[in-house]
């Protein structure tokens, strides 16, 4: 069994080592049918892609798309910014994106001064960020985000942030959002993954590659899939092509 797509990869447009074409070349070498270029969102403090670079990224993809027998998506790994579920894209950005990822990262610019204290700082403070209250607010923030924006994938769930995995999985299932089994690290516990699977949510395996040679490396997700005996039908890019809600909404 093999994976047909890798939908979380980075390039020199943020802080990775390869160009878009380098990533595509490796994807073709690994036998993938699809690849998404998903550099870090605009409001990451250290590794953000710049909004004006998007036209160059689109040009890069346009230039190489006919050279390789693979679908190339231009996406973004957006950042959760507040308890209200804001993320760092504007409405007009959505039309320029083929796929939208969302995750929590520590080094982000909050959406407002209020969000700096109520979300950003609250998730940095020891002990406070582990509280049931904080877990509930973070879960609600994700749920608000996926209802507010056409997010396709929640990346590395629980990485750096406490959430109720099952409650988020239920809402993801309802909306058609996938939860990622990340190729660098899986921050959920085994029990949480199994409990999420019980909701029927779709999982998607991604490499989160920052080097071209790691494109398509699903060894960690595959270990978890095998160990937990997850239903292969629930892994949406395992010998199948996922249906992404943002693309479906555009009639694609």
If we measure between CA atoms, which residue out of 152, 38, 150 comes closest to residue 91? 150
Does 39 or 44 have the greater pLDDT score? 39
pTM above 0.85, yes or no: yes
What value does the mean pLDDT take over residues 221-228? 98
Q: What is the pLDDT of residue 59?
A: 95
Confidence grade of residue 233 (pLDDT, cut at 50, 70, 90): very high
Q: What is the pLDDT of residue 127?
A: 66
Query: Residue 9 pairs with which residues in a beta bridge?
Result: 209
Task: Work out the angle between the directed axes of helices 20-29 and 54-64 (0-180°, nearest 10).
Answer: 40
- Token couple for 238: 């395992």
Query: Do residues 1 and 239 make contact, with C-beta atoms less than 8 angstroms apart?
Result: yes
The domains located in the chain, with CATH, are 76-249 (3.20.20.140)
Res. 47: pLDDT tops 80:
yes
Q: What is the pLDDT of residue 128?
A: 65
Which residue matches tokens 């099952």?
166
How many beta carbons lie within 10 A of that of residue 242, not counting itself? 21
Res. 252: pLDDT tops 90:
no
Res. 1: pLDDT tops 80:
no
Which residue matches tokens 């555009």?
250
Confidence grade of residue 158 (pLDDT, cut at 50, 70, 90): very high
DSSP strands (E only) in 16-150: 34-40, 71-79, 99-103
How many beta carbons lie within 10 A of that of residue 234, not counting itself? 15
- Token couple for 157: 């769930």
Does 92 or 139 have the greater pLDDT score? 139
Q: What is the pLDDT of residue 50?
A: 87
**Dihedral, 188, 189, 191, 194 alpha carbons, nearest 10:** 40
What value does the mean pLDDT take over residues 217-233? 98
Q: What is the pLDDT of residue 70?
A: 98
Res. 173: pLDDT tops 90:
yes
Confidence grade of residue 202 (pLDDT, cut at 50, 70, 90): very high
What value does the mean pLDDT take over residues 7-34? 96
Output the average pLDDT for the chain.
Answer: 95
Q: What is the pLDDT of residue 250?
A: 86
The pLDDT > 90 percentage for the chain reads 85
Q: Using one digit for the tens of pLDDT, what is the confidence trace for 99-149?
A: 999 999 998 999 999 999 999 999 998 766 778 899 999 999 999 999 999
Q: What is the pLDDT of residue 131?
A: 84
The pLDDT > 70 percentage for the chain reads 99
If we measure between CA atoms, which residue out of 166, 234, 238 comes closest to residue 200? 234
Largest Cα span, the chain: 52
């Amino acid at each position: 069994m093999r994976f047909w797509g890798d939908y979380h990869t980075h390039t020199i447009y943020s802080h990775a080592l390869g160009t878009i074409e380098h990533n595509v070349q490796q994807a073709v070498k690994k036998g993938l049918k699809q690849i998404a270029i998903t550099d870090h969102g605009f409001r990451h403090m250290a590794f953000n892609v710049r909004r004006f670079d998007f036209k160059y990224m689109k040009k890069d993809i346009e230039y190489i798309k006919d050279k390789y027998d693979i679908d190339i998506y231009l996406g973004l790994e957006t950042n959760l910014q507040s308890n209200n579920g804001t993320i760092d894209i504007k409405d007009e950005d959505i039309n320029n994106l083929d796929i939208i990822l969302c995750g929590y990262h520590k080094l982000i610019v909050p959406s407002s001064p209020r969000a700096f204290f109520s979300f950003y700082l609250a998730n940095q403070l020891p002990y406070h960020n582990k509280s049931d209250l904080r877990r509930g607010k973070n879960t609600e923030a994700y749920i608000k985000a996926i209802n507010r924006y056409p997010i396709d994938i929640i990346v590395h769930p629980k990485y750096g942030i406490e959430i109720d995995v099952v409650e988020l999985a239920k809402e993801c299932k309802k909306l058609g959002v996938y939860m990622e089994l990340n190729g660098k690290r899986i921050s959920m516990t085994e029990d949480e993954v199994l409990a999420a699977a019980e909701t029927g949510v779709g999982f998607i395996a991604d490499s989160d590659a920052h080097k071209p040679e790691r494109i398509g490396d699903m060894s960690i997700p595959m270990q978890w899939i095998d160990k937990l005996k997850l239903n292969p039908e629930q892994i949406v890019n395992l010998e199948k092509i996922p249906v992404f809600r943002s693309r479906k909404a555009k009639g694609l």
